[in-house]
Amino acid sequence: MTQRLGILGGTFNPIHFGHLAAAEEVRDRLKLEKVIFIPSFLPPHKIEEDIPSAVQRQEMVRLAIRGNAHFTVSDVEIRRGGRSYTVDTIEALRQSHPGAELYFLTGLDSFLEIRTWKDWDRLLTLCSFVVLSRDGYRFRDIAQIGILDVPERELSALDAREKDQVVITSGGIRVYLERVPFYDISSTDIRTRVREGRSIKYHLPEAVEHYIIENKLYA
């Protein structure tokens, strides 16, 4: 049987319950065997001042996902070093997991900027994309980037919460548009709370909270 693997990359600065809940929702919905979390070494589209080392962010991911046998973490981008480009990571995973079906999870906000990604057109043919709803962004804006042929009524149905999923298959490209539960939690807010001495409890796993405090991250 073909292995179905979800791929969730990111800065994870820090990882929180929003990341974990979205990954589990997609894993269950698409019947994925595993979701591989991949902390970036240097994210190509983000410039953040208070960013812990890649090793520290990887450790926070490891702490966050323990207890879920379907979640694992990979250091593929950390070992490679330099800027972390998705196309390079997907190609590496295709080599390390021959024959597996790869499902790349990304937020709707990021997908709307896919034309700015390195080799974006080739990337779309290397794996299935799973585009997750993000608060403040509309699925119907996908029509404006001009790379997917999808009826506007389908996109509007997602925005209106009349549908939770629309699958687009065209010319060797497969994209899953997924409405997932919204958690009003962000890494930026967590970092701000730490700097201000406010509680971050229930924003992320307790083990990650303790790691942040013990290592004086974001203080």
With respect to residue 44, please indicate whether it lies within any of the assigned structural domains. Answer: yes
Mean pLDDT of the chain: 95
With respect to residue 142, please indicate whether it lies within any of the assigned structural domains. Answer: yes
With respect to residue 53, please indicate whether it lies within any of the assigned structural domains. Answer: yes
Task: Render pLDDT for 163-172 as a digit per residue (tens, 0 to 9).
Answer: 999 999 988 8
With respect to residue 195, please indicate whether it lies within any of the assigned structural domains. Answer: no
Task: Render pLDDT for 17-72 as a digit per residue (tens, 0 to 9).
Answer: 999 999 999 999 999 999 999 999 976 655 556 789 999 999 999 999 999 999 99
With respect to residue 86, please indicate whether it lies within any of the assigned structural domains. Answer: yes
Location of structure tokens 């999870």: 105
Q: Count structural domains, the chain.
A: 1
Domain of 137, in residue numbers: 4-184
Confidence check: pLDDT of 202 > 70: yes
Location of structure tokens 């994309």: 129
Say if CB 15 and CB 204 are below 8 A apart: yes
Task: Render pLDDT for 101-145 as a digit per residue (tens, 0 to 9).
Answer: 999 999 999 999 999 999 999 999 999 999 999 999 999 999 999
Task: Render pLDDT for 80-99 as a digit per residue (tens, 0 to 9).
Answer: 998 889 999 999 999 999 99
Where residue 93 sits, what CATH number does that domain have? 3.40.50.620
Angle at 49 between CA 208 and CA 37, to 5 degrees: 40
